[in-house]
């Protein structure tokens, strides 16, 4: 730790950044799936270094005091934590809205009843494609049947259900089927999120990047489906590799949300593990100190850190210079303009990648085994 371990008393109404309202609680990096698009870091945090129950209880007390009102209980697979009930209860007790983000593997009626009793508010279920065979192929393991059962249990329990589908070259042409599946399963919301290339997914970029034609077709399908399918809200998370327009990543660095990793590291974004910053830990500091005072959260907050072309750009308060993790992954310098921006001097890195994309072997998320199985559709 390079941060000084002094805990100043800071008034929430004093000067400084506005409080965060959202928190991603990555309870574990353990996961039963092997998705090639996984954005978790290549080097996962081992289970032996995970926070204890009491740590998470304190984290939620501090988060609520800081202003957090919404938390994703995520991972990896959060159901792998035997103390998920206690963690959920701590969040709910402190007035934080909780959404379980799960593969559905390991969710049975008893477990769900326990979580509902603890105050769980909603569930977001990941699905990899519209059919069992295609979904299992991307997940790298048989999991579709468990997802279907989990969806039914969530609806029976009366909780709001959302589906989360990461989109890429292998499933973009299945949008219609995916949305039909969501309607059949009783989902109220489907997040169609084009793959973000961080962590493990970077290895599979060439095989996962879609064609422009696929993207255009998928976008048209979403627009058509919005008119046709009632009762299912469709969220289309745009890819940033194709239009020269960067995304306002995380709503700005250290602006609205924070991520607490399995070992208690606190990051402004869940993909930031690989950035050359010293991330503070809840074992050493309060969340309030981390949010307001740590150098990691200050590093790219606001616009002061920007250089050209962002520093003089009228969009700098709109997209915050794009994504720091992408700038680092592609240029080795997190303070550069995101190469996804058409004004970036590094934009050619993105256009070259898009042009070189193509079918290829996918490397499954399986740290102990490189190479993976071959997927062809």
Which residues would be at the binding site for ligand FES (CB under 6 A)? 198, 249-250, 269, 271-272, 323-325
107 binds ligand SF4 (CB under 6 A): no
- 136, 322, 334, 362: residue in contact with ligand SF4 (rule CB under 6 A): 322
Which does residue 249 bind out of ligand SF4, ligand FES, none, counting CB within 5 to 8 angstroms by kind?
A: ligand FES
Asked whether the beta carbons of 220 and 175 are under 8 A apart, the reply is no
Report the alpha-carbon distance of residue 54 to residue 339 in Å, rounded. Answer: 42
Work out how close the CB of 317 gets to ligand SF4 at its nearest, in angstroms, rounded to a whole number. Answer: 8
Residues 6 or more apart whose Cβ sits within 8 Å of residue 346: 327, 330, 331, 336, 337, 339
Which does residue 334 bind out of ligand FES, ligand SF4, none, counting CB within 5 to 8 angstroms by kind?
A: none
Report the alpha-carbon distance of residue 222 to residue 92 in Å, rounded. Answer: 34
Q: State both tokens at 58.
A: 């304190």
338 binds ligand SF4 (CB under 6 A): yes
CA distances from 169 to 194, 198, 213, 251, 351 (A): 10, 16, 11, 27, 17
Work out how close the CB of 40 gets to ligand FES at its nearest, in angstroms, rounded to a whole number. Answer: 12
Work out how close the CB of 303 gets to ligand SF4 at its nearest, in angstroms, rounded to a whole number. Answer: 9
Name the residue nearer to ligand SF4 (CB basis): 262 or 268.
268
240 binds ligand SF4 (CB under 6 A): no
CA 96 vs. chain centroid, Å, equals 19
Name the residue nearer to ligand FES (CB basis): 172 or 340.
340
Which does residue 315 bind out of ligand SF4, ligand FES, none, counting CB within 5 to 8 angstroms by kind?
A: ligand SF4
Work out how close the CB of 152 gets to ligand FES at its nearest, in angstroms, rounded to a whole number. Answer: 34
246 binds ligand SF4 (CB under 6 A): yes
Work out how close the CB of 244 gets to ligand SF4 at its nearest, in angstroms, rounded to a whole number. Answer: 9
Q: Has 38 been labeled as part of a binding site? A: yes
For the chain, what is the total number of helices (H) and then of strands (E)?
13, 9
Work out how close the CB of 270 gets to ligand FES at its nearest, in angstroms, rounded to a whole number. Answer: 7
116 binds ligand SF4 (CB under 6 A): no
Which does residue 375 bind out of ligand FES, ligand SF4, none, counting CB within 5 to 8 angstroms by kind?
A: none
Work out how close the CB of 32 gets to ligand SF4 at its nearest, in angstroms, rounded to a whole number. Answer: 38
Stretch that binds ligand SF4, among 65-73, 190-198, 287-295, 335-343 (CB under 6 A): 335-343
The burial of 356, by beta-carbon neighbours within 10 Å (0-12 exposed, 13-18 middle, 19 or more buried), is given as exposed
Q: Has 31 been labeled as part of a binding site? A: yes
Report the alpha-carbon distance of residue 334 to residue 99 in Å, rounded. Answer: 31
Name the residue nearer to ligand SF4 (CB basis): 209 or 341.
341
The burial of 175, by beta-carbon neighbours within 10 Å (0-12 exposed, 13-18 middle, 19 or more buried), is given as buried
Give long-range contacts, CB 8 A cutoff, 24+ apart: 144-150: 146/103, 146/104, 146/105, 146/106, 146/107, 147/103, 147/104, 147/105, 148/185, 149/104, 149/107, 149/108, 150/102, 150/104, 150/105, 150/107, 150/123, 150/125
255 binds ligand SF4 (CB under 6 A): no
301 binds ligand SF4 (CB under 6 A): no
266-267: strand order across its sheet? 233-237, 189-194, 161-167, 122-126, 97-102, 70-74, 22-26, 257-260, 266-267
161 closest CA partner among 129, 111, 105, 123 = 123
337 binds ligand SF4 (CB under 6 A): yes
Length of the chain in residues, anyone?
377
Name the residue nearer to ligand FES (CB basis): 287 or 340.
340
What residue numbers does the annotated binding site for [4Fe-4S] cluster cover?
A: 31, 35, 38
Q: Which residues contact ligand SF4 (rule: CB under 6 A)?
A: 246, 309-310, 313, 315-316, 319, 321-322, 337-338, 341, 343
What residue numbers does the annotated binding site cover?
A: 31, 35, 38
């Amino acid at each position: 730790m390079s941060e000084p371990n002094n805990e100043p008393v800071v008034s929430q109404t004093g000067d400084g950044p506005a409080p965060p309202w959202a928190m991603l609680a990555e309870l574990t990096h353990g996961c039963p799936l092997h998705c090639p698009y996984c954005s978790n870091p290549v080097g996962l945090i081992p289970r032996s270094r995970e926070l204890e129950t009491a740590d998470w209880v304190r984290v939620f007390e501090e988060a609520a005091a800081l202003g957090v009102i919404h938390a994703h209980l995520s991972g990896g697979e959060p159901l792998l934590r035997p103390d998920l009930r206690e963690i959920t209860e701590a969040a709910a007790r402190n007035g934080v809205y909780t959404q379980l983000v799960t593969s559905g593997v390991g969710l049975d009626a008893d477990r769900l009843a326990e979580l509902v009793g603890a105050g769980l508010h909603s569930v977001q279920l990941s699905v990899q494609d519209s059919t069992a065979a295609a979904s299992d192929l991307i997940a790298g393991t048989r999991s579709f049947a468990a997802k279907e059962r989990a969806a039914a249990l969530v609806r029976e329990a009366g909780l709001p259900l959302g589906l989360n589908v990461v989109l890429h070259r292998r499933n973009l042409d299945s949008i219609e089927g995916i949305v039909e599946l969501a309607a059949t399963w009783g989902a109220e919301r489907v997040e169609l999120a084009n793959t973000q290339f961080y962590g493990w997914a970077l290895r599979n970029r060439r095989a996962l990047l879609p064609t422009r034609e696929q993207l255009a077709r998928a976008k048209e399908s979403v627009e058509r489906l919005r008119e046709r399918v009632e009762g299912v809200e469709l969220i289309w998370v745009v890819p940033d590799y194709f239009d020269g327009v960067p995304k306002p990543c995380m709503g700005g660095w250290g602006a609205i949300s924070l991520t607490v990793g399995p070992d208690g590291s606190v990051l402004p974004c869940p993909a930031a593990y690989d950035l050359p910053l010293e991330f503070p830990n809840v074992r050493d500091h309060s969340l309030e100190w981390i949010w307001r005072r740590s150098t990691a959260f200050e590093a790219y907050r606001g616009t002061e850190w920007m250089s050209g072309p962002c520093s003089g750009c009228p969009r700098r308060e709109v997209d915050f210079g794009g994504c720091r993790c992408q700038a680092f992954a592609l240029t080795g310098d997190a303070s550069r303009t995101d190469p996804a921006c058409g004004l970036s001097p590094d934009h050619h890195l993105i256009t070259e990648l898009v042009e070189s994309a193509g079918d290829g072997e996918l490397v499954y998320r399986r740290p102990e085994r490189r190479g993976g199985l071959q997927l062809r559709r």
